[in-house]
Amino acid sequence: MLVLRIVATLAGLLVLWAVLLDALETVVLPRRVRRQLRLTAWYYRLAWGPWAALTKRIKSQGSREALLGYFGPLSLIFLLALWATGLILGFALLQYGTGGHLLLSNAQLTFGGLLYHSGETFFTLGYGDIVPDSGWSRFLAVLEAGMGFAFLGIVIGYLPTIYSAFSRREVEIALLDARAGSPPTAAELLRRYCQCPPHDGLDRIFHAWERWSAEVLESHLSYPVLSFFRSQHNNQSWLAALTTILDATALVMVGVEGIASEQAKMTFAVARHAVVDLSQVVLTRYDPLVADRLPPEELVRLRQALSDKGLKLRAGHAAEEKLAALRALYEPYVNALARSLLIVLPPWLHAERKLDNWQVAPWDEAVAARGGASVSPYHSEDHF
């Protein structure tokens, strides 16, 4: 019996240490933890795999994205529940190891009863049907009750922090809809801002996205669960937006006549830093067989599309080598992130004209049928 109590005490200490360390590293520590033996890392690895496999069976993109959108919030709630369960179990093991409890009824006190007692103590219910009767058991009861209050404080503070970071991320993504199309593309971003002499508008966009990239890097390293939070529209995502900015800055760095590249270089550096670090957080793997996002024939079409708007992309073997070298710096990472998170990356240029999200509304057809004006027939190039 003594050996069993010693084993229970050691197991309880181990469980409490694992849960408290994991909660500290996930909620409090504002930096990426490289250690892989973590409760949260195991939890997301085990939870995301079956969820992703289930969503892959859904043929409808809208239904698939809707189901994927539930994973982030639900996984966060169940993670908090996992921590609470671990703390309750750990204290129940410690209480079993130390002993010293009085049961007001005449029934025999079992480990199940101590688990119940630990739960009511953690959530400060205080029914009083099981009473600690030794110094250690009373100390553990008080400690667990205090930890229950601390856990409540974490829940109250953690969820608003997560959703505040999510909201800040989504604002720029929503703004990109009118700036680069839906889904956004590098070609569309450059085409819409080519009419702003002397292209200072493009520099302001790149500067804003330099800061956005840094904020995404900071928030997603501190709270990795944000990587699983989907955007409000099916054709938008934080990764698609980041990829679009990397594509656009790469083109400007290769050389677009009349557009300075200084701000593009700084934005590219921060955005590339973000995708490299976040690919390590999500534990992605390099895939050498991924399809080329910009084959030679697509590059020709991209040059022509930019030329039609008066944008001359530098040509020649040296320019193509530089573009390939810049793409090699970030495309393996965005491809790996897209594959792991089931996110569709945007093309460099749309195969055909697409309406922006703001141009599509559920009442357009009804309004048009009654002879009113409808925004649906317009193309993005009519407005920009």
pLDDT digits (tens, 9 = 90+) for 24-81: 888 877 666 666 678 888 899 899 999 999 998 998 888 899 999 999 999 999 999 9
Strand bridging mode 101-103 / 130-132:
antiparallel
Contact between 134 and 96 (Cβ < 8 Å): no
What is the reported pLDDT for 380?
Answer: 47
Instruction: For the beta carbon of residue 52, count every other beta carbon within 10 angstroms.
Output: 14
Query: CB-based contacts of 116: which residues, under 8 Å, 6+ apart?
Result: 130
Give the model confidence (pLDDT) of 205-249 as tens digits: 999 999 999 999 999 988 889 999 999 888 889 999 999 999 999
Instruction: For the beta carbon of residue 24, count every other beta carbon within 10 angstroms.
Output: 11
Which amino acid appears at position 20 of this protein? L
Catalogue all structural domains in the chain, each as residue range(s) with its CATH number.
Answer: 2-156 (1.10.287.70), 165-365 (no CATH)
The Cα 358–Cα 308 span in angstroms is 25
* Range list of H helices, the chain: 2-23, 39-56, 61-98, 111-122, 135-180, 186-193, 200-222, 238-255, 262-281, 296-308, 317-341, 364-369
What is the reported pLDDT for 107?
Answer: 67
State the DSSP code for 347: P
What are the structure tokens assigned to 45, written together? 């690895």
Contact between 371 and 85 (Cβ < 8 Å): no
List own/partner pairs for 146-154 with CB under 8 A and 24 or more apart. Answer: 147/87, 147/122, 148/121, 148/122, 148/123, 148/124, 149/124, 151/83, 151/84, 151/87, 151/122, 154/23, 154/27, 154/80
Angle ∠(36,37,42) on CA atoms, nearest 5: 85
Q: How do the pLDDT tens digits run along the chain, 384 residues long?
A: 788 888 989 999 999 999 998 888 888 776 666 666 788 888 998 999 999 999 989 988 888 999 999 999 999 999 999 999 999 999 999 988 887 776 766 667 788 888 998 999 998 887 777 888 888 888 998 999 999 988 888 888 888 889 999 999 999 999 888 888 888 999 999 988 876 555 567 888 999 999 999 999 999 988 889 999 999 888 889 999 999 999 999 999 999 888 889 999 999 999 999 999 999 888 788 888 888 999 999 999 999 999 988 889 999 999 999 999 999 999 999 999 999 999 999 999 988 877 888 787 776 656 656 665 544 444 445 545
The Cα 44–Cα 112 span in angstroms is 29
Contact between 38 and 22 (Cβ < 8 Å): yes
Query: CB-based contacts of 346: which residues, under 8 Å, 6+ apart?
Result: 183, 184, 185, 240, 243, 244
What are the structure tokens assigned to 159, written together? 């969820």
